[in-house]
Structure 1
Amino acid sequence: MIIAQIAGALFGLLSVVLGAFGAHALKGKFTEQQLVSYETGVKYQMYHAIVLLILGYLPLGQVKALTVWFFIFGTLLFSGSIYLLCYTGYKGNKWKFLGPVTPLGGLLLVVGWALLLYNALVPIFV
């Protein structure tokens, strides 16, 4: 599935760029808590970039294709909202409406992992 490969490569590339940016440009600007949150966003983005790349090279059935979309949207919502919350907090105008977006993104990631588990277990029991 080419979308998984594209998203995985893009997420991986951006996580390296954003991680380096956070480690160098934001270190003296963000609070310690903001840096920890920012780093969490970068880590989760990279983890899911790797998973998307792996899924992109496997034959995908309907469940795996659905998993790819949950991982893409979950990563965008989870990591993206963390980045924006940290940045807008640093600028002094924290976008608090993004607060619920982070757990929603996390929920999408959890559903993606549950779908992978389901996909692994079905052949055993069918």
Structure 2
Amino acid sequence: MKRKILITGSILGLTAVILGAFGAHGLKESLSTEAINSFETGVRYQMYHSFLLLIAGSFLPLNLKALKTVFYFVISGVLLFSGSIYLITSKPLTGIDISAIGWITPIGGALLISAWICICYTLIKSAK
């Protein structure tokens, strides 16, 4: 499981760098400043959570159940939170309109928060 978490964290980090560069250079002329800022928020949160997976898989004393829970919360959260932001902000270019399901962005955020809660709970519980 740790290997899977580390590989996934690496892939999320790699794609965050690629998307960040694309946003900074490829989208500047095509999107509004507000859309670029939103896109960068998605990239930033994806990168933060790639670091979280790398740290959880390498250093945190989490049991297997907690590791799996954190892994699935992060993957689901990044896909829903960052993924929906990427789609919403790039609508002028892609023509993809997900405004009808824009409510998935806060659900993704809640899943990311849940990953952090799981880590905190597990660490507090194991310290007793």
Q: What TM-score do you get using the length of structure 1 for normalisation? A: 0.91
C-alpha contact (below 8 Å) 2:78/2:108 kept by paired residues: yes
Gapped regions of structure 1 (runs ≥ 5): none
User: How does 1:106-117 map onto structure 2 within 5 Å?
Assistant: 106-117=109-120
Taking only the aligned residue pairs, the percentage that are identical comes to 42
Aligned-residue CA RMSD (Å): 1.6
Gapped regions of structure 2 (runs ≥ 5): none
The secondary structure found in structure 2 opposite 1:27 is coil
Deviations 1:49-107 (A, max 9, x none): 01101112245411232112101111111101100111124455532123111101001
Q: What TM-score do you get using the length of structure 2 for normalisation? A: 0.89
Q: 2:3 and 2:34 mapped to 1: Cα distance? A: 37
Q: 1:3 and 1:60 mapped to 2: Cα distance? A: 15
User: Which residue of the other structure, out of 69, 83, 88, is the alignment partner of 2:86?
Assistant: 83
Q: 2:27 and 2:39 mapped to 1: Cα distance? A: 10
Q: 1:71 and 1:12 mapped to 2: Cα distance? A: 13
C-alpha contact (below 8 Å) 1:64/1:119 kept by paired residues: no
Rate the CA distance shift 1:35–1:106 in 2: closer, same or farther, 3 A.
Answer: same
